[in-house]
Structure 1
Amino acid sequence: MQSTVDFWYEFASTYSFLAAERIEALAAERDVAVRWRPFLLGAIFKAQGHETTPFNTYPVKGRYMWRDMERWCERLGLPLVRPDPFPQNSLVAARVALALPEDARAAFSKAVFRAEFCEGRPISDPAVIADAVRQTGFELETAVTAAQTDLVKHALRKETEEAQRLGLFGAPTIVTGDGELFWGNDRLEEALDWARGRP
């Protein structure tokens, strides 16, 4: 039976962007299925007493993160543009991701991340979201209309509450079938190997 992991990610998160670029190929190599689960990390930060990302609160940590992002993007052959402001408002992107069918969620999410971190476009802009939906091949009006329903708004709240219940404190986080948590882009291989039962 194929193993499955939950890929919890936040659209405003730099390391979620990197993980989104890498996870599909790494999972395919290991025959692991991936469920893409967007959530709102800001709500969890607030519960921890943070008003913004620790990368802004602690400038030394922020400088390190952006330099690390430069190294990673160079390795992956991706341009890097710092979004302004950072972090971006990810509410609409997360709602649309949940409104889309699961098989369109990965393509949409990667398109949003690239618009944000490769092109510096604001992901709260409806035009950016519309471009990302079009790249999935899904019907734009259907996705946008669904994202505005109480059902999807409630679903996003429930996903964020579930992330908090599981003990997530950052993004990306991979949760394996047996409940192990692996936090960070640099833990992808370890998480997927664990899911497959490899040492």
Structure 2
Amino acid sequence: MPNRPVLDFWYEFASTYSCLSALRIEELAEAAGVAVRWRPFLLGPIFAAQGWTSSPFNLYPNKGRYMWRDVARRAGRNGLAIVRPEVFPQNSLVAARLALAGREAGWLPAFSTALFRAQFCEGRNIAEEAVLNAALREAGADPASAFPASRSEEVKGRLKAETELAKSLGIFGAPTFVTGDGELFWGDDRLEEALSWAKDGR
């Protein structure tokens, strides 16, 4: 479909709600006639600027308990079972760099969804090279070339720039969806509304 409206999908690999969105966004966007631009970034620097040393779901236990139950409910509606990883939040730095290294090659979305499934549907640690390798192969990428590319200064700089851009847009959590006219929607439960706005505007 030519000249489709574009929705920017800002996500953090360590984010449970980003996982929910990543596993359903392409199908919903296709039905809405909207193109998705996958934009991985890091929430750590944004949290640190607010004085947080970890995820708010760890800092506020009641909020954390609610989140895990809420994610399980929402996932269940889509036929998914959520597994809480032993470590949360996980170190997503290498994952984000790898994803950005695959943007031009076209395997960023497939790699991202594979990694989200490994982490939150299988309880795997996305900081482990074996888990990253498996996700790369599932996405049709070659780990032998993807890893060196992810360590390049160009990709490292790109991730820093993306995170700074997210901050400048007012993004404070993930997932966040930004429409072509700059409207911001936060949270998996706002995905449908964001797609509708991207397509038809106010």
Bin for the TM-score computed over the shorter chain: over 0.9
Q: Does 1:50 align with 2:55?
A: no
How far residue 198 of structure 1 moved from its aligned partner, in angstroms, is 5.7
Q: What SS does the aligned partner of 1:35 have?
A: strand
RMSD: 1.0
Matched, 1:60 2:62: yes
Distance in structure 1 (CA, Å) of the matches to 2:116 and 2:139: 14
Deviating above 3 A after TM superposition, structure 1's stretches of 4 or more consecutive aligned residues are none
Distance 2:189 2:141 in 1: 31
Unpaired segments ≥5 residues, structure 1: none
- 1:125 matched to 2:150? The reply is no
SS in 2 for 1:130: helix
TM superposition score normalised by structure 2 = 0.96
In 2, the alpha carbon distance for the partners of 1:170 and 1:198 equals: 23
Displacement of 1:49: 1.1
Residues 109-124 of structure 1 mapped to structure 2, 5 A cutoff: 109-124=112-127
TM-superposition CA deviations, 1:135-167 (whole Å, max 9, x none): 111222111110011111111000000000100
After TM superposition, the structure 1 = structure 2 runs for residues 1-199 of structure 1, keeping only pairs within 5 Å, are 1-102=3-104, 103-197=106-200
Once residues 46 and 134 of structure 1 are traced to their aligned partners in structure 2, the CA distance between those partners, rounded to angstroms, is 33
The DSSP-based 3-state class of the residue aligned with 2:133 is helix
Q: CA deviation at 1:101?
A: 3.1
Structure 2: runs of 5 or more not aligned: none
* Secondary structure, aligned partner of 1:80: coil
Q: What SS does the aligned partner of 1:78 have?
A: coil
Residue identity (%): 61
- Distance in 2 separating the partners of 1:148 and 1:34: 26
TM-score, scaled to structure 1:
0.97
2:189 is matched by which residue type in structure 1? Answer: D
Q: Distance in 1 between matches of 2:193 and 2:78?
A: 19
CA distance in 2, matches of 1:198, 1:162: 23
Count of residue pairs the alignment pairs up: 199
Counterpart residue identity of residue 44, structure 1: I
SS at match of 1:196: helix
Displacement of 1:57 = 0.8
